[in-house]
Amino acid sequence: MLNHPTFDQLNAMGLFGMAKAFADLNANPDDAVGLGHADWLALLLEREVVHRHDKRLGARLRHARLRHQAAPEDIDYRAQRGLDRRMMHELLGGGWIDVHDNLVICGPTDVAS
């Protein structure tokens, strides 16, 4: 089987995540030795899903035009704001969205330092 035409076809179809995973697997054949056909395909599909999710997230972030590049990992829990690390981790997990709970954040404005 020729790998280059397959790689080109994946790119032509817009399956860039799969194409990168395909190239990675061909570059490291030791990683793919133990994989069956279904596992190999599942790995390619997973990479495509992650690639599309990251692309959508990047587009949303660009569209939002946020002034600060902030991330939950940057929260300073040592500051005297009364933030509970465990509660923040639970909120960031998003489980409250899945069970259709509401979230109200109250407190003074401009709490970012």
The pLDDT value given to residue 17: 92
Question: Can you tell me the distance from the alpha carbon of 38 to that of 98, in angstroms, rounded to the nearest whole number?
Answer: 30
pLDDT at 112: 54
Would you give the distance in Å from CA 24 to the centre of its chain? Answer: 19
- Rounded CA-CA distance 8/73 in Å is 38
Q: Sign of torsion, CA 19 24 26 32? A: negative
The number of CA neighbours under 13 Å toward the Cβ of 43 is 16
Placement of tokens 């030795």 in the chain: 33
43-85 residue pLDDT tens:
889 999 999 999 999 999 889 888 888 888 888 888 787 788 8
Say whether 94 sits in a helix, a strand or coil: coil
Write down the mean pLDDT value for the chain: 84
